[in-house]
Structure 1
Amino acid sequence: MQALRIAATGMDAQQKRVETVSNNIANMSTTAYDTRRAEFADLHYQQLRAPGAISSSTGLIAPAGIELGLGVRTSAISVNHTQGSLRQTGGDLDLAIEGRGWFEVTLPSGDPAYTRDGAFKKTGEGLIVNSEGYPLAGDITIPQDARSITINANGEVYAYFDGETEGQQVGALQTTIFVNEKGLEAMGGNMFRETQASGAPIPGEPGLDGRGAIRQGFLEESSVDVVAQIADLIEAQRGYELNSKVISAADQMLGSTTQLR
């Protein structure tokens, strides 16, 4: 029976929804994590009678067709790039972007990757890197004898030395925007890479041309709304149960048919 296959696609769709919600809840404390959402689309339709077809020998046109749906499929797992709240940490190298934009880091292969996780550190040589050890684009190095650093809203990095009241600029970081942020490919480790869907990266000075300003001493928190995720989880669970009941009902109907004499 077709109902068995249709209900199976529904169970598979609700399972993917539960997996998406599970990943969101697991990352509720991940820095700068953006909530994912499962999106679905109906499958092809079995055309028993097309809309507008002639319904009789008199040439009358049927006001409606007979189209039997064949189920559902997952069309996308989209990322909702909504900025999370900013949490003050006080760290010199804890940076948040207030608004649009991404930090660019350089992978060991030399390719760029993009992240909003601004929990940066420095190496023994003073190079600013992310938690994975990938250097921030621009190879900004903090002098080893600097007693403190400040990074202003425009990304300019100043180092302060003992006996001096004014800081010396040691570099400037840029942020990058994309035409279609949803088209970025997730790599894990809070990083994304450019794709044809995202468009080419557009680097520039923070605070200009639609880019957000840099906030030193802050980190962006996860944008996961736990209450909303639990509601989605319950709804997906009920949807899964309903589809399983459809399979049970279809099985009973099929069993009744095979017992006919």
Structure 2
Amino acid sequence: MDPTIYTSMLTANKILDKQAIIANNLANASTLGFKEQLTFQTSSLTNNSESFKDKQILSENNYPYSNFSSGPINFTKRDLDLCIKGNGWFVIKDENAKNKEGYTRNGHFKINTNGQLMINNHLVIGKLGIISLKKNKKISISSSGTINYIDFKKEKTKQNIIGKLKLVNPNPKYLERGNGGVFYLNEKGLKKWGNHIPDNKNVQLNKGMLEDSNVNLNENLINMISNERHFSIEMKIISTADENIQRANQLLNINN
């Protein structure tokens, strides 16, 4: 294979990888608490190919990473809509892996038919485990994540503490991306904490607010168009190189 064709094929594959990341960002632009994924790209000369042991091939490498900056705040005035101030995560149960926690910035809480707190169809984990509530009871969640039943009697409001949301704040280097904006502990995180990060009392909440996705639509669309153009150029290079090879072969056949 011609080195030019091989190099362009490698580059085109990397462009497709970047397009997949951008497509995922755009698909989750309206997902609450979603953190966009970016790529850091490097170019280097390599001769790892079996076909070109005596030649160096220009290779591009993509290194995906997550943008953990906060997204825009949406004011909803709903009691069970919560937004984390600054850094931190809500904790949910991963139904697909035993005893494994998931971490999300999505604070749109709901109560299922069994009286359990949910986020996007995932059970919410409290400081002492799964949070179950009494039916037909109004609850309030404080800025520290404490959950209270509210009783209205004789013009007085009485609050009964029933539990606390588990709120964590691990260093992002211990997290890896999952699906739907959920993060999990990576190998380093599992070695440090096991399957469960300790509750962090310093994480605080705002009520009646939600954090939207931090995906920059304009930037992602511009990058997608740029990648499409770059991909077309690489395809043109491959086509031109292939035509040149065919013409060279024709000339050799004529001379012979």
Structure 1 SS opposite 2:237: helix
Q: CA RMSD in A?
A: 2.5
1:196-234 alpha-carbon deviations (Å, 9 max, x no partner): 24453643344x2xx4x2112211101011111111111
Deviations 1:108-140 (Å, cap 9, x if unpaired)?
A: 433222221111212334322222242323333
One of 225, 231, 239 as aligned partner of 1:248: 239
In the TM superposition, 1:1-261 aligns within 5 A as 1-46=2-47, 68-74=56-62, 76-108=63-95, 109-137=98-126, 138=128, 139-146=130-137, 148-163=138-153, 164-179=156-171, 181-198=172-189, 200=193, 202-206=197-201, 208=202, 211=203, 213-260=204-251, 261=255
The one-letter amino acid of 2:17's match is K
C-alpha displacement at 1:239, in angstroms?
A: 1.1
Runs ≥4 in structure 1, deviation > 4 angstroms? Answer: none
**Distance in 2 between the 1:171 and 1:3 partners?**
64
How far apart in 1 are the matches of 2:222 and 2:122? 38
Amino acid at match of 2:228: Q
Q: TM-score w.r.t. structure 2 length? A: 0.81
Contact 1:13–1:40 (8 Å) recurs in 2:
no
- Matched residue, 2:51: none
Helix, strand or coil for the counterpart of 2:205? strand
- Which structure 2 residue ranges, 5 or more long, are not aligned? 49-54
Normalising by structure 1, we get a TM-score of 0.80
Cα gap change, 1:155 to 1:83, in 2 (>3 Å)? same
What is residue 57 of structure 1 aligned with on the other side? none
Measured against aligned partners, the alpha-carbon deviations of 1:30-75 in whole angstroms (never above 9, x if no partner) come to 111111113333354349xxxxxxxxxxxxxxxxxxx84332233x
- C-alpha distance in structure 2 between counterparts of 1:182 and 1:231, whole Å: 28
* Contact 2:152-2:158 within 8 A present in 1 as well: no
Q: Tell me which amino acid in the other structure corresponds to 2:167.
A: T
> Match of 2:91, as an amino acid?
E
CA shift for structure 1 position 142: 3.3
Task: For 2:238 and 2:216, locate their aligned partners in 1 and report how far apart those are by CA, in whole Å.
Answer: 33
**Aligned partners of 1:128 and 1:141 also within 8 Å:** yes
Structure 1 position 79, deviation (Å): 1.4
Confirm or deny: 8 A CA contact 2:73 2:212 kept in the other structure: yes
How far apart, CA to CA, are the structure 2 residues paired with 1:237 and 1:214?
42
Indicate the residue corresponding to 1:52 in structure 2.
none
Distance 2:40 2:188 in 1: 18
